[in-house]
Structure 1
Amino acid sequence: MHFVLSAIIALLALLDLMLGVGFLVNPAASGADFGLSAGSAAAEGLSAMRADFAAFFLVAAGFMALGAWRRRGDVLTVPLALFAIAFTGRLINLLVVGSYEGWWLPMLVELGHVAALGLAIRVWPWRRRRSKFRVG
């Protein structure tokens, strides 16, 4: 089970790595895949997509790859928080604004991330920090 879970998280990390690099290299095309456009202030919109989306996906991918490689649950708390907040934001939008075409796919991907990361955090060990001050 540990190997399969490592493989799933590594594949999700690869997906996130590709998305992050896509936003760095060509934010307009990557943004269009997410239903975004740079708008009238193209430089600002492209800059925000390049910085914020790339950061989100690359940080998630890095921590997920490290966690999968070392099978350490503590490392996976960062991407879990990112994807849980993203899912919550989409859920709030769905409740407030309503559904739109294809609304379920990004939510399904984020929920898949949350489920896999949550399971790995529960199953894999956490590194314990050694205290400099021992009593006894």
Structure 2
Amino acid sequence: MVMDLLRAAVAAGEGVIVDPEAVAADYARIQSLVVGLSAGQQAEVLASEPVRATLLDPRRPARDLLEHLLDGIASCRLLFSEYADDEPTRPSDEGGAASDAAEPGELEFVVLVRQEAEQSGGRLS
């Protein structure tokens, strides 16, 4: 899946649309959003929702993917801190010096993410 995203972005950067049917479907979806709007509103919606040949920036797909991944992890950490128990358990300090300044809930999140990564790392290959 990740390699497919990167390949599609590189191809788009070279002027090739890997999945034209998906682009056409996205275009149709956006057009359905603007039906019944005034011309000015249509232009605004169409400008804010461009049809893209790829989910990643073709000029820098790997960096774009990494930024999205880090945003996702940060969002998960916020949700974890919001919904975790009020008194988190103190995991053992596996984070090293970088975790010394971390809040207890943040450290717990990091440890749990690392444990999950170890357990499910085989799915990545």
TM normalised by structure 2 equals 0.29
**More helix as a share of residues:** 1
Structure index of larger Rg: 2
